[in-house]
Amino acid sequence: ITVLEHTELLDIIEKDNRCFGGIVRKSDGEIEVIKAAHTVFATGGIGGLFSHSTNFNHLTGDALAISLKHGIALRDADYVQIHPTTLYTKEKNERSFLISESVRGEGAKLYGKNMKRFANELLPRDLLTQEIYKQMERDGSEFVWEDLRTIPEKEVREHFPNIVEHCREAGYDVFKECIPVVPAQHYFMGGVKIDYKGKTSMDCLYAV
């Protein structure tokens, strides 16, 4: 069994819908062909395809791209969930920090750049995300503002200590100012289609 760590899967070797291994780029840049009786995709995640994601940015949907190239069946690839409120940062290599919707459930408000509310903060994730994107377009901004000062300070400290601390580390005092938030890719429910044994539509190729 060859377990590939610190390598990039570039492609698979296949003929007549049967997989015979993979082509990888190793950490030193060397390209290597690895032949195998059975091959397993373990390359899930698409967070790196988005400007903002709560996932790691090295997850770039490689298995999906390879599957599309070779006609391997996918399932529910359009099932991508966007979380409406993550802390905005210009650092593209950082995972987006989630500002939980329970904060809005406790009374936090969302404002455009004119500091006026533009949506019902308790809308479902997809609908609120749409409203935030519309407001960002109207404002010509990369984020909107979320105001936690509408919640009693004691409640914020007791219920959301991690959010308070992370915002403080990022330079924001949630008790004195609004914080910038932006929608970010959060969950991906689709992927390479498999059967109950993990087999893809290609012989000798599995996915986990």
Enzyme catalytic residues:
125
Please state, in angstroms and rounded to a whole number, the distance separating the CA atoms of residues 93 and 27.
19
Please state, in angstroms and rounded to a whole number, the distance separating the CA atoms of residues 100 and 120.
16
Are 22 and 39 spatial neighbours (Cβ–Cβ below 8 Å)? yes
Rounded to 10 degrees, the C-alpha dihedral 3/8/10/14 comes to 10
Amino acid at 129: T
Q: How far is CA 175 from the centre of its chain?
A: 28
Question: Residue 93 CB: number of other CB atoms within 10 A?
Answer: 9
Amino acid at 27: S
